[in-house]
Structure 1
Amino acid sequence: MTVNGESGSTIQSVDRALTVLQLLARYGELGVTEIATKLKVHKSTAFRLVTTLESHDLVEQHTDRGKYRLGVGILQLAGATTAKLDLVQRAKPVSQRLAEIVGETVNITVLSGHEALYVDQVAGSAALQLHNWVGQRIPLHATSNGKVLLATVSGPRFDELTTGPLKRFTDKTVTSREALRAQVDEARRRGYAVAVDELEVGLTAIAAPICGADGTVVGSISASGPGFRITADRIPDVAAKVVAAGRDVSRRLGWHGH
């Protein structure tokens, strides 16, 4: 009974905290007493709620009148979402065109924690029984997208992202950090990464970086398909098209480099 009670209490607290954010979004600024009245809770409960939200920068206190308003943490959360949505929207026509040209599946990914996160996917004409990867995460060390994203980070960040054992998915998966670093260095030099049979036997993928307006890499674009279609002699041609697509998306995001 105690566990259930604690669970219910926790959910109620989360619900009240979210309601506080909605109230501040609606009214702009509110004092603790006003928040307590609108929530129909004791003033001490309202104070604990805003104090917790304040510790996460989700609300801030207006020093002149002691009232609370939404904090910069809200902007950071919204900004992260907006950036991903903007990337998807700007990349969509390019992804569709690339999928049409190469006939294979095109994916857009971003670095999320220690993995790559799929944020968009377009099926090519040759793709059959397509698995929808949007919203799913993939390992950095065993994928072309992951290697492109790893190629953009600093040495210490690379070590952090590849700490611990690298999981083996197939006989071709790179599980040595030294070998992975060499592949990532090569991807950085040539402007794209290739993964053949590394995540899944029979799957070949080629990825290139996408830059934001300031020139930093914000994501990657890839074309992937079965090895019998993306053969070794076809990889250079597909890679050139993927790299061109990455530059096109980058320009749409405001990048003016070469």
Structure 2
Amino acid sequence: MAAGRHAALRRDPASAVPLRRVPGDRRGGALRPAPRPAPAPVAARQAPLRRDTGGTRRRAGRGAELPRPDLPLTCDHHTPRRGLCQDSGVTQAPAPQTRSGAQAVERAVSVLRTLEATEDPLGVTEIAQQTGFTISTAHRLARALTDAGLLSQDDRTERYQLGPALIVLGAKAANRLGYRRALPTLRELATATDESVSLGIRTGNEVHVVLHVPSPQPLRFDQQPGTAVPLHVSAMGKCLLAGGGDIDTQLDSLGRLTRATDRSITNRKQLRAELELVRERGWALNDQERNAGVRAIAVPVFHPDGGALAAIAIQGPAVRITDDRLPKLATQLNKTAQTVAPILAASPRE
């Protein structure tokens, strides 16, 4: 019987209820089940954890959302937290810094650079192909840049091109960096030579035109501010390479030497010899290396402490920029560069 009574008291551990004695029983009180604790109020229950980005997964058979381990946690009240979530009692380590913001900027710049490199407007598919982005990403970036005025979209073709806000930004940048203060001097040179005059600076492996004064001649060569040209096929580019320090270091910084015309220099040994010649005589020549039928002569603008700040070039049809004019043009260019150098040197470059 004792064994039977003890057997009757065995319970399944999974469904066991704690026992307590009933007060007032002299023999110790009968053993009765203790009441279960009342359920916690809804407001006091653990707040479900979810993600700002919407990246969640659900526990099988349950309605609660579980966060993906690769995304930061937030509490149910939409406030991102680091460390302790007050409502949930769950401690989360600080989330690592991400590059999402920097990546968005890099992608937007890539779209702008892609449209800078083409004369024709591009559709979303073409932008995606040339940048390597998905079509949805290209569309999202193009729309954001259009809203900011950095791109404009043709209502009929739905194709994109650089927008008017860039004109304002470029003009203000040129003015604040002091380049526009050199414009009167460049105009004097254009009047004296009857040819187009440009001032350019180096950006990466390209020379960017900052200022341009067109020739009064009906037959002329113009390159608008913002035009970017590979250094090795530009007279200004050669000046910036030759005046930028060790020539071998400058050559190592260049990528593949692309060919623009059959006169383009694509051999590094030949380009090195050309840069040595630029250093020796003080000016560079672009002999139809970028555009057939167009020649240019350029000189560097040096900072008083050394190093080329910029370059100034005279461009025109090859039938007018003849070999017999080069010495005089070089003299006029050097005089202009000496006038412009202190103006540019006094302006901020950072």
Match of 1:161 in 2: 253
Give the Å deviation of 1:216: 2.4
Whichever residue aligns with residue 194 of structure 2, its letter is G
Measured in 2, the distance between the counterparts of 1:225 and 1:87 equals: 26
Q: 1:150 aligns with which of 220, 241, 264?
A: 241
Whichever residue aligns with residue 179 of structure 2, its letter is V
Is residue 205 from structure 1 mapped to residue 301 from structure 2 by the alignment? no
Q: Is the 8 A contact 2:196 2:220 kept in 1?
A: no
Give the Å deviation of 1:82: 5.7
Give the Å deviation of 1:42: 3.6
* Runs (5+) with no aligned partner, structure 1: 1-8, 10-40, 57-80
Measured in 2, the distance between the counterparts of 1:87 and 1:217 equals: 16
Q: Is the 8 A contact 1:212 1:250 kept in 2?
A: yes
Change (3 A) 1:129 1:227: closer
Is residue 248 from structure 1 mapped to residue 327 from structure 2 by the alignment? no
Is residue 126 from structure 1 mapped to residue 223 from structure 2 by the alignment? no
Match of 2:187 in 1: 96
* Runs (5+) with no aligned partner, structure 2: 1-52, 54-77, 83-93, 104-171
More helix by share: 1
Measured in 2, the distance between the counterparts of 1:106 and 1:133 equals: 11
Is residue 184 from structure 1 mapped to residue 275 from structure 2 by the alignment? yes
SS in 2 for 1:147: helix
Q: Is the 8 A contact 1:99 1:105 kept in 2?
A: yes
Identity score, percent: 30
Structure 1 vs Structure 2 CA RMSD:
3.3
Give the Å deviation of 1:192: 0.8
Whichever residue aligns with residue 158 of structure 1, its letter is Q
Q: Is the 8 A contact 2:206 2:228 kept in 1?
A: yes
Deviations 1:17-47 (A, max 9, x none): xxxxxxxxxxxxxxxxxxxxxxxx84559x9
Change (3 A) 1:228 1:147: same
Q: 1:217 aligns with which of 295, 308, 311?
A: 308
Give the Å deviation of 1:240: 1.1
Give the Å deviation of 1:180: 0.7
SS in 1 for 2:333: helix
Whichever residue aligns with residue 200 of structure 1, its letter is N
Q: 2:229 aligns with which of 124, 138, 155?
A: 138
Measured in 1, the distance between the counterparts of 2:178 and 2:267 equals: 32
Instruction: Answer with 1 or 2: which has the greater Rg.
Output: 2
Deviations 1:97-122 (A, max 9, x none): 11111111111111101111111111
Whichever residue aligns with residue 183 of structure 1, its letter is E
Tell me which of the two structures has the higher relative contact order, counting C-alpha pairs closer than 8 angstroms and 6 or more residues apart: 1
Match of 1:108 in 2: 199
Give the Å deviation of 1:174: 1.2
Measured in 2, the distance between the counterparts of 1:109 and 1:142 equals: 14
Give the Å deviation of 1:129: 6.7
Count residues in correspondence.
Answer: 191
Measured in 2, the distance between the counterparts of 1:51 and 1:168 equals: 40
Change (3 A) 1:246 1:44: farther
Match of 1:38 in 2: none
Change (3 A) 1:129 1:152: closer
Change (3 A) 1:83 1:151: farther
Give the TM-score of the pair, scaled to structure 1. Answer: 0.64
Change (3 A) 1:155 1:99: same
Whichever residue aligns with residue 161 of structure 1, its letter is S
Give the Å deviation of 1:142: 1.1
Give the Å deviation of 1:219: 0.8
Measured in 1, the distance between the counterparts of 2:197 and 2:299 equals: 11
Change (3 A) 1:196 1:54: closer
